[in-house]
Amino acid sequence: MTPPKEPDQGIAAEDSVSPSTVLSCLGTLRTRPEFLRAASARRQGAGSFLVQARFRNDGTPGVQVGFTASKKIGNAVARNRAKRRLREVARAVLPAFGQPGWDYVLVARPGVTIERPFADLLTDLQTALRQIHRGQTPAGQP
């Protein structure tokens, strides 16, 4: 296959967005204390998962996200599939609906997270974030 010869053919590099570019605006929660701090803050149930959120109040503007799937979800294959689905939902929704300076943890629910249609997962996260940030100031401070 030959590459396009004219600039108007094909997809320009500026038009395509790589997954690493989207992830650059999202940080990842990695340590147990970070997950525990988020678990002790706000919770909002969605149809297919639970969202835990907290305002970091440390002056950093980025959004951080973590994912949890317990053994109730199933074997390792099922847990990894649930986390992959939640990761893609976060990549699609959090850059637009997440508030700067907040940590979010998405907790998978048994059966529902894996089986629910992807469009419904997107809607669930958008609705949950609206509920969490309802009545917030624009800066995202509680």
* Mean pLDDT (whole number) for 72-78: 95
Is residue 118's pLDDT more than 90?
Answer: yes
Strands, sheet with 102-108, edge to edge from the N-terminal-most edge strand: 26-28, 63-68, 102-108, 49-55, 42-45
Give the pLDDT confidence score for residue 55 in this predicted structure.
92
Comparing 12 with 44, which gets the higher pLDDT?
A: 44
Q: 26-132: what CATH class?
A: alpha beta
Note the pLDDT tens digit of each residue in 6-38: 544 444 444 444 444 444 578 899 999 999 999
The structure's pTM equals 0.76
Q: Is the pLDDT of residue 50 over 90?
A: yes
